[in-house]
Amino acid sequence: MVSLSQVPTPRAASDRAVAEDLDRSDQLAVYRERFVSPDPTLVYLDGNSLGRLPVTTAQRVAEAVTEQWGSGLIRSWEQWIDMAQSIGDEIAAGVLEADPGEVVLSDSTTVNLYKLAAAALDARPDRHVLLTDDDNFPTDSYVFQGLTAARGLELRVIETDLDAGLSTEAVQAAMDEDVALASFSHVAYRSGAIADMVAITGIAHDSGALTLWDLSHSGGSIPVPLRSAGADLAVGCTYKYLCGGPGAPAYLYVRKDRQGELRQPIWGWFGQQDQFAMTGQYDAAPGLARFLVGTPPVLSMIGVREGVAIVAEAGIGALRTKGQALTSYLIDLADEWLTPLGFRLASPRDVERRGSHVTLHHPQAWQICRALIERYDVVPDFRAPDRLRLGPAPLTTSYADVWEGLDRLRRLVESGVHESYPAQRSRVT
């Protein structure tokens, strides 16, 4: 017979040893060493806003500066001229579900939204509606407001629940044959809710509309089923989960069979057929190159290549599995520790509907966010109107980080120290 004293007490989820066990069996744990992390006490829960710096990036950029630029000078363009396409192919193969020749690095996400949305509207001249939702990222909405205002078109905006995210039924209800283009975020920047790309693209196509997806919060963290969905167009950011560095160029995707049919509005020499013939007349390049504009930021592209290589090596499947486990663990801790302190989960509870970040609602989220950064060395971010966004990027975050971050958050709110912070927001949140 086993005496009672020999029976191990069951551990609560909030026992730190649970996090340590999860870290020991985490196959992606080794990737943490591939990133610079000079401050061991920092808990970084913002890899979904600015990914960490890969160890190799500083060296690769330094080599490009001293050797390619410093010594090679203009001769180095031989190496640089096709980088936007080759890194695009690396993103297509390792990050998205797309074919070679469908993805290219170019400009910023915002500029690419403008280029591709304009191209889509031009391709459906008999239709007058651009469909989006009110939970889309602000820059997407602004671009669409500008485009529809300039063209006298209607911007139709679906009302979306801030926590639950875009529903397929709402898209179905708003869709009709006036819609030229439907554009949404794949993962909502605030709640992390995943939109059903396959179903929504199908609904748009059934009524003859084109689709433009913003992948900024999904690319590098969850599978992006562009091919299964038959998605027409997409844009995405490289400085978040792809760890390309601040302001690194974005990528755009155009489905192969749409490339010849679409024309974007900024006719620059990188989109010109036979660019160096320097002819007087614009003649769009036949394939994806027609969506390029001007000279790309070479040094920044080098950072994108390093980040994308690590993401591809870790594998989107493994990153998705860990992202689900990390966010579920985070929610378990929040339920136990933070709900009693006035927090409420503002992300989908269903793991299949949730991307790789978790948002918590609290009326004093702004003050808590400031106090957490300044006094407790935990970096989340604040998202309006009253939410704390926690992004445990699966490539660079441990379970112990999540435990530590939430423990500090709990202690902070218990202490009430955030009450002394001004409610007035600063310029960058």
Ligand X SMILES: *Cc1c(COP(=O)(O)O)cnc(C)c1O
Write down the catalytic residue from 214, 232, 401, 407. Answer: 214
Q: Is 240 labeled as catalytic in the residue annotation?
A: yes
What one-character-per-residue DSSP string does 246-305 give? TT---EEEE-GGGTTT---S---GGGBTTGGG--SS--B-SSGGGG--S---HHHHHHHH
**Positions that interact with ligand X (CB under 6 A):** 108-110, 137, 139-140, 185, 189, 214, 216-217, 237, 250
Side-chain-facing half-sphere of 411: CA atoms under 13 Å = 11
Closest CA to 316 of 327, 305, 308, 325: 308
Q: Of 44, 114, 239, 376, which residue is the catalytic one?
A: 239
Longest dimension (CA), the chain: 93
In whole angstroms, what is the distance from residue 303 CA to residue 63 CA?
Answer: 12
Nearer to ligand X, 112 or 396 (CB): 112
60 φ/ψ angles, rounded to the nearest 5 degrees: -65, -40
> Which CB sits closer to ligand X, 342 or 385?
385
Active site residue 214: yes
Instruction: Please state the closest distance from residue 272 (CB atom) to ligand X, in A.
Output: 24
Q: Is 26 helix (H, G, I), strand (E, B) or coil?
A: coil
CB of 125 to ligand X, least distance (A): 27
* Catalytic-role residue among 31, 35, 44, 137: 137
Quote the tokens at residue 62: 């330094």
Q: Which of 240, 305, 370, 410 is catalytic?
A: 240
- Residue number with CB closer to ligand X (389 or 418): 389
Rounded to a whole number of angstroms, the minimum distance from the CB of residue 119 to ligand X is: 17
Q: Minimum distance between the CB of residue 182 and ligand X, rounded to whole angstroms?
A: 15
Q: For residues 206 and 177, what is the distance between their CA atoms, to the nearest angstrom? A: 9
Comparing CB distances to ligand X, the nearer of 109 and 272 is 109
239 an active-site residue? yes
Alpha-carbon gap, residue 229 to 199, rounded angstroms: 7
Tell me which residue has tokens 């989908």. 348
Axis crossing angle, helix 399-415 with helix 316-333, rounded to the nearest 10? 30
Residue 107 CB, nearest approach to ligand X (Å): 8
The residues assigned a catalytic role are 137, 214, 239-240, 389
